[in-house]
Amino acid sequence: MQEEFICQENCPHLAKIHEVEVNKIPREELQSLSEIFKLFSDETRLRIICNLLNTELCVCDLCELLNLNQSAVSHQLQLLRGSKLVKYRKEGKQVFYSLKDEHIENIIKIALAHMREEK
Amino acid sequence: MQEEFICQENCPHLAKIHEVEVNKIPREELQSLSEIFKLFSDETRLRIICNLLNTELCVCDLCELLNLNQSAVSHQLQLLRGSKLVKYRKEGKQVFYSLKDEHIENIIKIALAHMREEK
DNA sequence: TGAATATATGAACAAGTAATCATATATACT
DNA sequence: AGTATATATGATTACTTGTTCATATATTCA
Q: Does the distance separating the beta carbons of B34 and A42 come in below 8 Å?
A: yes
**pLDDT attached to residue A10:** 53
Residue A2 placed within a domain:
no
| Total domain count, chain B | 1
The pLDDT tens digits for B24-82 are 999 999 999 999 999 999 999 999 999 999 899 999 999 999 999 999 999 999 999 99
Residue B76 placed within a domain:
yes
Residue A39 placed within a domain:
yes
B54 in Cβ contact with A20 (< 8 Å): yes
Residue A3 placed within a domain:
no
Contacts of B106 in chain A (CB under 8 A): 110, 114
CATH number for A42: 1.10.10.10
Min Cα separation A114/chain B (Å): 6
What percent of chain A shows pLDDT beyond 70? Answer: 88
Range of the domain at B72: 14-118
Round and report the angstrom distance from CA (A64) to C1' (C1). 69
Is the model's pLDDT at B16 over the cut of 50? yes
What percent of chain A shows pLDDT beyond 90? Answer: 64
Residue B45 placed within a domain:
yes
**pLDDT attached to residue A8:** 63
Is the model's pLDDT at A111 over the cut of 80? yes
Tell me the β-bridge partners of B96. B58, B89
**pLDDT attached to residue B4:** 44
- Mean pLDDT (whole number) for A46-74: 95
Is the model's pLDDT at A11 over the cut of 70? no
Distance, in Å, from the CA atom of B114 to the CA atom of A79, rounded to the nearest integer, reads 18
Please name the residues between 100 and 119 in chain A that touch chain B, using a CB distance below 8 Å. Answer: 101, 103-104, 106-108, 110-118
CA atoms within 13 A on the CB side of B93: 6
- Mean pLDDT (whole number) for B102-111: 87
Predicted TM-score (pTM) of this structure: 0.89
Is the model's pLDDT at A118 over the cut of 70? no
Residue B77 placed within a domain:
yes
B111 → closest Cβ in A1, A36, A50? A36
Residue B4 placed within a domain:
no
The pLDDT tens digits for A27-55 are 999 999 999 999 999 999 999 999 999 89
- Among A9-18, A104-113, B4-13, B101-110, the range scoring the smallest mean pLDDT is B4-13
Residue A103 placed within a domain:
yes
Distance, in Å, from the CA atom of A65 to the CA atom of A53, rounded to the nearest integer, reads 13
Min Cα separation A68/chain B (Å): 5
Is the model's pLDDT at B15 over the cut of 60? yes
Of A44, A50, A49, A72, residue with least CA distance to A60: A72
Average pLDDT, chain B: 88
| Residues 28-57, chain B, CB closer than 7 Å to nucleic strand D | 38, 41-45
B38 in Cβ contact with A41 (< 8 Å): yes
The pLDDT tens digits for A72-95 are 999 999 999 999 999 999 999 999
Is the model's pLDDT at A4 over the cut of 60? no
